[in-house]
Amino acid sequence: NQVHLEYSGIDALRVRLGRQVVRLENQRWVSDNDFRQIPQLFDGVRATWTGIENTEMEAGYFTRMRNTSGMTRELRLTTLRAAWNPRAGHSLGAYGVFHDQAQNGAFTGFADSSYRVLGLRAEGTAAHWGGIEVPYLAEAAQQRPYADGDYRVRGKYLRAGAGLATAAWTLRFDYELKGSNRGRYGVQMPLTDFYAFNGWTLHFFNTPREGLRDRWLTGRHSWGPVTLYAEAHRFRSDFGHFDLGRELDAGITYAITPDLLLRLQHARYDAARSAPPGDVRKTWLTLTSTF
């Protein structure tokens, strides 16, 4: 999969050249989309510098990607990121994504869907009570046309979430907005890990023109080698605030060994009465070996 050269002969600087995995922040904008056995990879150069205490800066430029079907295509992608840890367990960051690729997997119908994104992000664990952690996340970004991108390519992105967690269990609530440009365009994320967001059925693989508001609860509990996991989503549009349905995802994982996992998952999406019909049911069994 990956073939690259890496240089780290200068203190605090690392440069990587070649085919590589790119994961930006929480992987909402750029990721390896590694649900399948074939990860999404990018050909280019990336540099990371940690010369300032508790700070990391990164810049990358990529000219080609290989998708999860093994197909390669040209693109011009620039990624920028700066992160600062003001104290242990907390991170503040800023990022930029400049994606120049007319047909980039976002099914907008536009001749050119090239875009840029500028965003801010804060994440960490706010407090501890007797082994219980309080994780939180807050993020805001703006998407705008880039290069020759269509003038309608614009919208805001918001994400906020918090909960309670221990090594054995997690309970949290999250909210995400992929905004709409007055019903003409919904924020698109064609380089993301789709299975990690907006439910496992992939019903919202492409953001509707009216945008998407996703509110969901997450629960997790582990008993020895067995872990139960579930998400409950409620979807609405940004423009017009239409009901877009709900989804329930549940899974159970059994760790046969630390490197061999057996996972049973089920996902069901129920469309709202006011939305186009499109109920989805998916069940799959996965055996994963790491070596």
| CA gap 144, 149 in Å, rounded | 8
Greater pLDDT, 105 or 284: 284
The pLDDT score that the predictor gives to residue 276 is: 67
The pLDDT score that the predictor gives to residue 20 is: 96
Nearest to 77 by CA among 24, 135, 10: 24
Asked whether the predicted pLDDT for residue 54 surpasses 80, the reply is: yes
pLDDT level of residue 190 (50, 70, 90 thresholds): very high
Average pLDDT over residues 72-81: 96
Asked whether the predicted pLDDT for residue 184 surpasses 70, the reply is: yes
Q: What is the mean pLDDT of the chain?
A: 94
Average pLDDT over residues 47-57: 96
Greater pLDDT, 182 or 194: 182
Asked whether the predicted pLDDT for residue 128 surpasses 90, the reply is: no
Nearest to 53 by CA among 101, 7, 87: 87
Q: What string of DSSP letters covers 29-89?
A: SS---TTSSS--EEEEEEEEE--STTEEEEEEEEEEEE-TTS-EEEEEEEEEEEEE-SSTT
The pLDDT score that the predictor gives to residue 246 is: 96
pLDDT level of residue 131 (50, 70, 90 thresholds): confident
| CA gap 15, 32 in Å, rounded | 19
Asked whether the predicted pLDDT for residue 245 surpasses 70, the reply is: yes
Asked whether the predicted pLDDT for residue 35 surpasses 80, the reply is: no
Average pLDDT over residues 137-148: 97
* pLDDT tens-place string over residues 205-228: 889 999 999 999 999 999 999 999
Asked whether the predicted pLDDT for residue 149 surpasses 90, the reply is: yes
